[in-house]
Amino acid sequence: MIDLKPYGYVEAETPPIGLIPGRVTELQREQYTVITEQGEVTAVLKGTFYHTAGAREDFPCVGDYVWLQYNENGASRIAKLLPRRSKFSRADYSGHAAGYAKTILEQVVATNFDYVFIVSSLNWDFKVNRIMRYLTQTRQSGGQPVVILTKADLAPDFNGPLADVQKASPDVPVHAVSSHAGVGLDALSEYLQPGKTVVFLGMSGVGKSSLLNALMNQEVMTVKAIREDDSRGRHTTTHRQLFMLPSGAMVIDTPGMRELGLFGADDGISAGFNDVEELFTQCRFHDCRHKTEPGCAVLTALADGSLQHEHWKRYLAQKRENKFADDKAGYLTDKRARHKSLAMQSKNMKKSGDSRNENRNVQIL
């Protein structure tokens, strides 16, 4: 028999005969993995869920405590969702036409966590305002916020940023850590107590997977920047969603949580580099690598001093460091295509001399 207490289960009410308690550790499509006193079981929802659940919110997700009908020979059946003490949800647009705001469902992505680690990098991209926005989100979730400033090894003097966060939110604990150098992790044991659950909130590339790996003492999440020499024989189990740390605390890391982190992306990672990205659209070749290519707007700007070398170097460092860089290329291609079609359109308009159409086009874009 497995004791569910280490999974944070508090029995407020004894389940009726025939049902046993459990905690959802994974959700893939409609199939649940639930840890129960019988061990880890695969489960589906009882039919009544589909009839009585008013909104998607009522469906169990990772972190939830449930009662289920245990089935020794096949899928168990989740019969009841127990009350949640905290939750994060996001809008679910699936199957709904854009603009039909009323039909957008709430999709709960993680529940029953005690702490929310607001993870932010101490590199040049450090922004107190973004942390404050995550703080608001966290306070609405019911979890207790803890600010984790990562990559301390990249910022020899992190006392400044640390003090900035402390000043902006005096009641919230702030810690600087380096997953790579193993610095500052011990201080987190205050939160990582047996039976406690933590979720990470933070933008892509801030080091959430690296932190999880460091806390797990093993690689459970793939970190994008793979070094050539150790990429063989990696042990990764990326599908797991609720991780039990050696300390006895749990970390929920769902794709849904990662998407939440992206909500801050509007002022995103490369917002400080608009000027650089504008230059890309002026390079002669659309696949310019800005190294030796003729007609490269970046090289020209570096040469005439309108682009600072330091600024360019920091941009390149960011590209190396962040996964976002990958998506950025696609974004820029789109942007360039938009520019081009806009230019073509206005050329055609000018030819036909129809200025009303031109105006209409500007509005559409």
Ligand X SMILES: Nc1nc2c(ncn2[C@@H]2O[C@H](COP(=O)(O)OP(=O)(O)OP(=O)(O)O)[C@@H](O)[C@H]2O)c(=O)[nH]1
* Nearer to ligand X (CB atom), residue 65 or residue 253: 253
Return the residues of window 254-283 that contact ligand X according to CB under 6 A: 258
The CB density around residue 13, as the number of other CB atoms within 10 Å, is 10
**Could you give the string, one character per residue 34-63, with x where binding to ligand X holds by CB under 6 A and - elsewhere?**
------------------------------
Only one of the segments 32-40, 80-88, 198-206, 298-306 lies at the binding site for ligand X (rule: CB under 6 A); that segment is 198-206
Interaction of residue 209 with ligand X, rule CB under 6 A: yes
Contact 184, 175 (CB under 8 A): yes
Q: Which phi and psi angles does 150 have, rounded to 5°?
A: -95, 170
**Nearest-approach distance from CB 184 to ligand X, in angstroms:** 9
* Nearer to ligand X (CB atom), residue 78 or residue 152: 152
Contacted by 270, from Zn ion, ligand X, none: CB < 5 to 8 Å by type: none
Give a three-class secondary structure readout of 258-281: HHHHHHHHHHCCCHHHHHHHHHHC
Please select the residue that binds ligand X; options are 86, 112, 204, 241, rule is CB under 6 A: 204
Return the residues of window 319-358 that contact ligand X according to CB under 6 A: 321, 323
Please select the residue that binds ligand X; options are 225, 337, 342, 362, rule is CB under 6 A: 225
* Nearer to Zn ion (CB atom), residue 147 or residue 298: 298
What residues form the annotated binding site for GTP? 150-153, 202-210
* Nearer to Zn ion (CB atom), residue 130 or residue 290: 290
Distances (CA, A) of 343 to 276, 278, 334: 21, 15, 14
Please select the residue that binds ligand X; options are 90, 180, 311, 336, rule is CB under 6 A: 180
* Nearer to Zn ion (CB atom), residue 77 or residue 290: 290
The CB density around residue 68, as the number of other CB atoms within 10 Å, is 28
Interaction of residue 164 with ligand X, rule CB under 6 A: no
Contact 252, 241 (CB under 8 A): yes
Contacted by 323, from ligand X, Zn ion, none: CB < 5 to 8 Å by type: ligand X
Only one of the segments 27-35, 60-68, 145-153, 230-238 lies at the binding site for ligand X (rule: CB under 6 A); that segment is 145-153
Structure tokens at 318: 């960011």
Contacted by 321, from ligand X, Zn ion, none: CB < 5 to 8 Å by type: ligand X
* Nearer to ligand X (CB atom), residue 179 or residue 197: 179
Rounded Cα gap, residues 353 and 332, in angstroms: 31
Show Cβ contacts of residue 189 under 8 Å, excluding neighbours closer than 6 positions.
247
Residues contributing to the site for Zn ion (CB under 5 A): 283, 288, 290, 296, 298
Element counts in the chain: helices (H) and strands (E): 10, 13
Interaction of residue 178 with ligand X, rule CB under 6 A: yes
Rounded Cα gap, residues 264 and 138, in angstroms: 13
Structure tokens at 188: 């987190």
What residues form the annotated binding site? 150-153, 202-210, 283, 288, 290, 296
Contact 132, 169 (CB under 8 A): yes
Residues in contact with ligand X, total (CB under 6 A)?
A: 20
Name residue, tokens 């933590």: 198
* Nearer to ligand X (CB atom), residue 45 or residue 206: 206
Only one of the segments 77-85, 223-231, 269-277, 302-310 lies at the binding site for ligand X (rule: CB under 6 A); that segment is 223-231
Longest CA pairwise span in the chain (Å): 81
Contact 170, 128 (CB under 8 A): no
| Rg, the chain, Cα only | 25
